[in-house]
Amino acid sequence: MKLQRKMRIKENIPLYSMLILPLLVFAIFSYGPMFGLVIAFKDYRFIDGIMGSEWVGLRNFRMIFAQPQTVGIIRNTLVISLLTLVTSFPFPIILAILLNEVRSKFFKKATQTVLYLPHFFSWIIVGGIIINIFSTNNGPINFIIEALGGTPFQFMFNHTSWMSIYLGAGIWKDTGFNTIIYLAALSSIDPSYYEAAVVDGANKWKQITKITIPCLIPVIVLQFILATGKIMEVGFDRIYVLQNAMVRDISDVVSTYIYEFGIQSGNFSITTAMGLFDSVISLTLVLLANQIAKKSDNALF
């Protein structure tokens, strides 16, 4: 047994050597920075460094929850993330299924290119476009409303419309690119399944619901688990570009709090504690989603 294991390791030495660089990247850029989490338990000062700063235990965490805006920031983060997950998650699946049914290669490639393109725009560009489109003074949407005899509406200053624009912008920007994983999964489905379904008289809708979607379930579950782990990670650039003072009570999230209160004000200990609290919640949600996925998988199969 030991001899077979040694031979197997020896045969796979080239493959193991290929792992060295990815492991180094993870060690340096993912696990190495975790040492900085100790700042959450210290009164960090630049002049003293991480190890020289005074140890204060859980004082920073108590200070976080003693501030009145903390609960609102966590609530906003959860609400925005859950809404983003609910509204954005189904679109790549639907789009991938639709593209998979297209038979014209030229039309399919052209459509994919157009849909993928927004993903490569920075949120600075996308935010500028959105703000100009929905501008109260010279935006095209309000220009059309005025031309039709209506009153200009402050889309970016109203809570409901701002949230709709925020969610819609994310769908427009990322849906096309996120279909790549589902299209890859669809390409691995055995064509004989569809041929057998056609012989049995199944129409296109039956083929999608009885073959395509069931074959996508493992990928959908995996993507759902990964998305659940990011529930507390509202992208800083997206929310920072689109927010304004009028909607600050619903758009202030953990990432903007860390930037403004930590980086700009220099309160690194408190914001590190907030980031650690954020990570613990994300880990808990990932483990919970994984358990739910396992139970669902057993129930389905």
Same domain, 215 and 158: yes
Regions of the chain where pLDDT drops below 70: 1-3, 232, 293, 295-301
Same domain, 96 and 231: yes
Task: Specify if 131 maps to a domain.
Answer: yes
Q: Which residues contact 134 (CB under 8 A, 6 or more apart)?
A: 141, 142, 155, 156, 161, 165
Task: Specify if 207 maps to a domain.
Answer: yes
Same domain, 3 and 131: no
| Per-residue pLDDT, 297 | 57
The pTM of this model reads 0.79
Whichever domain contains 156, its CATH number is 1.10.3720.10
Task: Specify if 39 maps to a domain.
Answer: no
| Per-residue pLDDT, 10 | 77
DSSP collapsed to 3 states, the chain: CHHHHHHHHHHCHHHHHHCHHHHHHHHHHHHHHHHHHHHHHEECCCCCHHHHCEECCCHHHHHHHHCCHHHHHHHHHHHHHHHHHHHHCHHHHHHHHHHHCCCCHHHHHHHHHHHHHHHHCCHHHHHHHHHHHCCCCCCHHHHHHHHCCCCCCCHHHCHHHHHHHHHHHHHHHHHHHHHHHHHHHHHCCCHHHHHHHHHCCCCHHHHHHHHHHHHHHHHHHHHHHHHHCCCCCCCHHHHHHHCCHHHHHHHCCHHHHHHHHHHHCCCHHHHHHHHHHHHHHHHHHHHHHHHHHHHHHHHHC
**CA–CA distance, 115 with 226 (Å, rounded to integer):** 23
Task: Specify if 80 maps to a domain.
Answer: yes
Same domain, 219 and 127: yes
Report the Cα–Cα distance between both ends of the chain, in Å, rounded: 35
Same domain, 13 and 132: no
Task: Specify if 234 maps to a domain.
Answer: yes
**CA–CA distance, 117 with 115 (Å, rounded to integer):** 6
Same domain, 90 and 25: no
Same domain, 24 and 84: no
| Per-residue pLDDT, 164 | 92
> Number of folded domains in the chain?
2
| Per-residue pLDDT, 154 | 87
| Per-residue pLDDT, 298 | 55
Domain with 173 in it: 70-295
Task: Specify if 65 maps to a domain.
Answer: no
Q: Which two tokens stand for residue 292?
A: 């739910």
Same domain, 115 and 182: yes
**CA–CA distance, 165 with 180 (Å, rounded to integer):** 24
| Per-residue pLDDT, 65 | 81
| Per-residue pLDDT, 301 | 45
Task: Specify if 8 maps to a domain.
Answer: yes
Same domain, 222 and 153: yes
Same domain, 133 and 236: yes
Same domain, 159 and 249: yes
Same domain, 289 and 241: yes
Task: Specify if 92 maps to a domain.
Answer: yes
| Per-residue pLDDT, 44 | 82
